[in-house]
Amino acid sequence: MLTGHPSGPPEFSDVIVVGAGVVGAACAYYAARSGLHVTVIDRGPVAGGTTGAGEGNLLVSDKEPGPELELALLSTELWRDLATRLPSRIEYERKGGLVVASTEGGMNALRDFAAEQRHAGVEAVEVPHDRLADLEPHLAPGLAGGFHYPQDAQVQPALAAAHLLRAADGKGPGRLTLRLGEEVTAVLTGASGEVRGVRTRSGEARAPYVVNATGTWGGQLARLAGVELPVLPRRGFVLVTEPLPRVVRHKVYSADYVADVASGSAALQTSAVVEGTPAGPVLIGASRERVGFDRTLSVEVLRRLAAQATRLFPALAEVRAIRAYAGFRPYLPDHLPAIGPDPRVPGLLHACGHEGAGIGLAPATGLLIAAVLTGRDTPLCPGPFAPGRFSREASTPSP
C-alpha cells in the first residue's frame, strides 16, 4: 500500500519527486521500476493541479519535427505499453486526430506540415473534402479537407496519474512513499550546495536527489533551491457538454490550433478543438492567455469556444454545456520542457514546463529522469531539454 504521513525522524529515500500530477507520477513509476525508493510529495491531492484540469490529449499531430516530436513519439509507444499494464480505467483510447482546413490555402499548409512530419515518423493521411464525413459524420459541410493522425490518443489524466503511482508501489524492485497535503517549504542542501532533501510543514524528507515535477509552479520550487527557471502560467478553459452518443469520434481541430500552440503571445488565443469521450461528454477547447494565476471565469472565452465548436459541428448548437473549468499550462519561452539535472544545484532535477503537452509527454519524461538517476543510457538525446540552457541564457550579456 501507499504510505501516508511520516512520523518520527526524517525519512530517507533515493529520490524525492515534488508533484503528484501525471509527470511526477511517471517519474516515480519509472524510477521505482528501476529499483529506487521514491518519495512523492504534493501540497494537494493526486492530480490536483494542471493534470486534473487537462483533457488527456496524447498528440503527435500538433508538433513540428524536432525534439518535442521525438519525445512525443517515444511517449506514444510508452502509453501503448502502459495501457496494457495499467487498469483499463485510465480510459486509454487510440481514437486518432483529425485536423481540418476551411480553405484550399489552409489545406496546402497542412500538406506541407504533414510531409515534414512523415519524415520524422508520424502517420498522416490526407482526407479529401468529400471523405471527411466518413470519419466524422456530423462535421460541418464545405471544408476543404483535412489530415487524419492515427497515432493520436487520449487518457483520463487524473486516473492515469493515480494508477501510475499505484503501479509504482505495487510492482518492481523499488517502492513508493506518498505524502499528500504537504507543501514543500525548503530544499535542503549540504555544505557544497548539493541537495539533501526537502522540508515540509510536517517535517523533513531526506534524499540525494529532488525532482521538480510541480508543473506550472516549477519556477517557485526552483527558487526554493536558489535558482531561476522561467516557468509561466498560461491559462486555458474547457467547456464540457452533457453526455451524448458518440457525436464526435476523433479529436478534431482546425489548422489554426497548430499555430496557437507554437505561439508565445501573452494575448488571448482561441481555436476550435472538439473531442468526444468514452463517458459521453464532449470536451471543447482550446484557449491560451498569460494572465498569471487568475482563475476568473471568462464569459468571452467561453463564448468564443462555443461559437468555434458549433462552426465545426453544427449539431452541438442544440447541446447543453453543463460546466467549464480552467487550468494553467506551464509555459517556457522556447516551448520545450525542462527535463534533467540542473547544473547549478547538484542533485536537483527538473521535469516541468511541458505547457499543454505534459500528459502526452509524461512517460518519456519519466523514463529520461529515471535514466539520469540510475546512470543508464537515455532513450533519446536529452540535450534540447537540459535545464542548463536557461542558466546559460541568464549569464549571457545583452548585445
Give tens-digit pLDDT for 210-259. Answer: 999 999 999 999 999 999 999 999 999 999 999 999 899 999 998 876 65
166 part of a folded domain: yes
Decide if pLDDT at 336 tops 80.
yes
Asked if residue 240 and residue 171 are part of one domain, the reply reads: no
Domain extent, residue 130, equals 97-150
pLDDT band at 290 (very low <50, low <70, confident <90, very high): confident
125 domain-assigned = yes
Cβ-proximal residues to 299 (8 Å cutoff; 6+ apart), any chain: none
Domain end: 150, 175, 190, which one? 150
Q: Which of 150, 168, 190 is the last residue of a domain?
A: 150
- pLDDT value at position 288? 83
- Please report whether residue 85 resides in a domain: no
269 and 323 belong to one structural domain? yes
Tell me: do 256 and 189 sit in the same domain. no
398 Cα distance to chain centroid: 32
Last residue of some domain: 115, 131, 150?
150
Residue 264 pLDDT? 55
In this prediction, residue 399 carries a pLDDT of 40
Give CA angle at 15 (14, 19), nearest 5°. 155
Q: Is residue 102 part of a domain?
A: yes
Q: Residue 21 in contact with residue 51, Cβ under 8 Å?
A: yes
- Residues 249, 325, single domain; the answer is yes
Q: Tell me: pLDDT of 263 over 70.
A: no
One domain for residues 226 and 339: yes
Query: 219 with 366, same domain?
Result: yes
Residues 264 and 291 placed together within one structural domain of the fold: yes
CATH code at 293?
3.30.9.10
Are 130 and 169 part of one and the same domain? no
pTM of the model: 0.92
Report the pLDDT averaged over residues 357-362: 97
Q: How far is CA 311 from the centre of its chain?
A: 27
Residues 142 and 163 in one domain: no
Four-point Cα dihedral 114, 118, 123, 125, nearest 10: 40
pLDDT of residue 259: 56
- Please name the residue that has the C-alpha cell 519524461: 365
Residues in contact with 132: Cβ distance below 8 Å, sequence separation at least 6, in sequence order:
98, 100, 139, 143, 145, 146
* Within a domain: 135: yes
Residue 54: what pLDDT?
87
Residue 38 lies in a domain: yes
In a domain, 42, yes or no: yes
* Same domain, yes or no: 237 and 221: no
Angle, CA of 233, 237 and 240, to the nearest 5°: 150
Cis peptide before 168, with omega less than 30 degrees from 0? no
Residue 152's Cβ-side half-sphere holds a number of Cα atoms within 13 Å equal to: 25
pLDDT of residue 261: 54
pLDDT tens digits for range 132-183:
999 999 999 999 999 999 999 999 999 999 999 999 986 567 799 999 999 9
Section 69-84 average pLDDT: 97
**CA–CA gap between residue 399 and residue 389 (Å, rounded):** 18
Are 20 and 140 contained in the same domain? no
- What single-letter DSSP state applies at residue 293? B
Q: State the total domains in the chain.
A: 3
